[in-house]
Amino acid sequence: MQVNFSDTQPSDTSLVAHIADKGKTPEGLEKSLSEGAKAARFKGNAGQLFEGFVDRNGTVTRVAIAGAGAADADARPINLEKAGAALAAKYLTSGETSLVLDLSDTGLDAAHAASVLLGLRLRSWRHDLYRTKLKDEQKISLETVTVVGAPDGTEAAWEDAAAVAEGVEFTRHLVAEPANKVYPVSFVEKCQEKFAGTGAELIVLDDDQMEALGMGSLLGVGLGSEQPSRILAIKWNGGADGDAPIAFVGKGVTFDTGGISLKPGPGMGDMKWDMGGSGAVVGAMLTLVKRKAKANIVGVVGLVENMPDGKAQRPGDVVTSMSGQTIEVLNTDAEGRLVLADALTWTQREFKPKRIVDLATLTGAMIIALGNEHGGLFSNDDSLADDLLAAGSAVGDKLWRFPLSAGYDKLINSPIADMQNIGPRGAGSITAAQFLKRFIEDDTPWAHLDIAGMVWADKAGQTWDKGATGYGARLLDRFVRDTAGA
């Protein structure tokens, strides 16, 4: 979607949108619109929308009013995003090709104006690549948004917000793509194409290189697949020379059958999004690179496909991780933690980060605990946990903190190895986090985000359509803005 800025409305305007705070309607509207909004019980609640038609200079004009909620609300940016998103949801396939967004007399500052546009763009994203028989009324028609009456600085604010949108869209694209299109090698290739010319450095490890490093934990997951495994690191040095980077590490199981511990057939197709953590990491890195964040950051993703085969890892096998610790693999469907174990070790030893955040669609138990409302947060550092909670709240990628303790840790002790990859039925998400904690070295501040319930939506939300949500990409970008001032 193209966003333009203008001092005046185009002469061929057929659709005009206004933003209204709770309890208000825009000034200067025709009586039929203001009275019509009142009759329709339009309150200006965030995301509420009213539409009417008026005759302006002999031309019938479609006028929309989108609610932005209370002007003094703590969630002001999120509410303004909902206002923009409501416009996209209404008019994306309406037959209208252009929309004029009139921000005159709204009192919005540049950042808030950009929030409206961000919501509009995020809600406009769809994955129609393989849909060849859409009816005309199902096809996207809205192509252009022209902003008039924008406050000073809005264009610069939108440039920054557009980088956020691009990162979220890249995450959504990767998560939405089927597993025959996104597998470890093609995931890397898509990132190489997307980051070309940005100034980011990409490092790729293949199977032989990972074997030489002793990554038996990660490589064991991919033994049953015809697709080779990969590790991809994206480095951005926007901060001071020599400053230790912030590291983001993502689980990238591009398809998860469960391996020999085979999942039930119904719903297995959803496992194309078991790489949602890696999608969030590379989407966040794209935003950070595009907006030239003034911080040193590295994003690392471990990419595998988990398939059953005569060569596949068996329940009961013991593997040796890069850290030297041995793991009894009791369930091959608890594979994400095996991927992250080696990815975390390599990240720490290669880049020596000052803080580490990993993201993974790790456990079904997290969906049982939190549903689709929050991602789970586990951390060995209260300050890091608080920073992530605040970042998630600010952008709507909500988190909820869970405990870690020695009592849970002992549940994954193995009688024949250093640990086993699953514990008992209870506290499944916690024991998974305790497993990962064993691979954190030198008490490095670390957080694990279990986002199993958040990367995919079975119905449309405020700023996303049904399908890939892009969860996590904005959270990491906001975390860097808030904690690194970048």
What residues are labeled active site? 263, 337
The token pair at 441 is 């070295």
Q: Treating both helix axes as pointing N-terminal to C-terminal, what angle do 336-351 and 428-437 enclose, rounded to 10 degrees?
A: 30
Helix and strand totals (H; E) in the chain: 14, 19
Q: Treating both helix axes as pointing N-terminal to C-terminal, what angle do 276-290 and 184-195 enclose, rounded to 10 degrees?
A: 10
DSSP per-residue letters across 60-124? EEEEEEEE---TT-TTHHHHHHHHHHHHHHHHTTSS--EEEEE-TTS---HHHHHHHHHHHHHHH
**Residues 327/446, Cβ–Cβ less than 8 Å:** no
Q: How far apart are CA 177 and CA 274, in angstroms?
A: 11
For residues 129-145, one letter each, b for 16 or more C-beta atoms within 10 angstroms of the residue's C-beta and e for the rest, the string is eeeeeeeeeeebebeeb
For 88, 264, 312, the CA distances from 348, given in Å and listed in that order, are: 42, 36, 28
> 409-414 contacts: CB < 8 A, separation 24 or more?
409/434, 409/437, 409/438, 414/327, 414/328
- Angle formed at CA 10 by CA 7 and CA 13, multiple of 5 degrees: 130
